[in-house]
Amino acid sequence: MLIQWFPGHMTKTKRMIEDHLKAVDVVAELLDARIPASSANPMVEELVKGKPRIVILNKADLADPRQTDRWVSFYRKRNIPVVPMSVGNGKNKKKLLSLIRETAKPILDKWYRKGLKNRSVRLMILGIPNVGKSSLINFLAGTAAARTANTPGHTRGKQWVRLSEGLDLLDTPGVLWPKFDDQTAALRLAATGAIAGDVFNPDEVVPVLLSSLAETEPQVLKEVYHIDDVNQDPQLLLEAAGRRRGCLLPGGAIDYDRAETAVLHDFRSGKLGKITLDPVPEEEP
């Protein structure tokens, strides 16, 4: 399987981001804490070009907290400010706002010396589709400032969102790279819902997801789907999961379509527990 997804509007989005970067002080890169590497857009560093940047590990409530801690250390060792985030968590919100202000302070001090004492911090949030960007903006603003949707590529156009905390956010559509050089990353993006469902085949994504869980989280398969032997062919794991979830056709045969949908829903909703699919890269000697 070769997953490719680069809707035409994303080319326009890339140009728009380049045009508006001069108007912002800080860029926040929003990643999925379950797949920080897979959800990182290779174009971001090129686009930012030295602009102060922070990393937000969103959906941290669905990720393995131990792995999230390791990812935080990974970014901090590279002098990249980072904060785990779960929309709805007030403490997370305070930490994020504090980090944004801290990162923007040198720029605000510069404006202060020029006589602009009450200038707001101008923030741009970049992230691939469906990593929760609109929901995060709504949470920070305390209102439905940006539209939200459960499908990738929903946000269109440009809008500024004024925050009471002295922050102006420039909301832009998510961007995704034009070619998946790493199909493992593509499969993980599909599993988390970052890639539209009509672009990939669940019958190829779900077995890979189950194989990954059998290797890294075998107890999950045992506890949720009552699979004693996780070292089976992924198709047999799917059959066992489908049977456990009641995905059966008349006569007792497995309804594979329903079984695949059930497994994806269980993973995305957190029913399988807090899971991180992307391991932290090993440190170079």
Annotated binding site for GTP: 58-61, 130-135, 174
Residues flagged as binding site: 58-61, 130-135, 174
Residue 123: count of CB within 10 angstroms of its CB: 24
Q: In this structure, are residues 85 and 92 in contact, taking their beta carbons and an 8 Å threshold? A: yes
Query: Cβ distance 174 to 152 under 8 Å?
Result: yes
Rounded to whole angstroms, the Cα distance separating 213 from 276 reads: 10
Question: Tokens 């706002």 map to which residue?
Answer: 97
Answer positive or negative: Cα dihedral of 63, 67, 71, 73: positive
Question: In Å, how far are 30, 81, 169, 240, 277 from 141, measured between CA atoms?
Answer: 16, 22, 9, 44, 30
Determine the Cα–Cα distance for residues 256 and 235; give it in Å rounded to an integer.
Answer: 10
Selection from 178, 194, 127 nearest residue 11 by Cα: 178
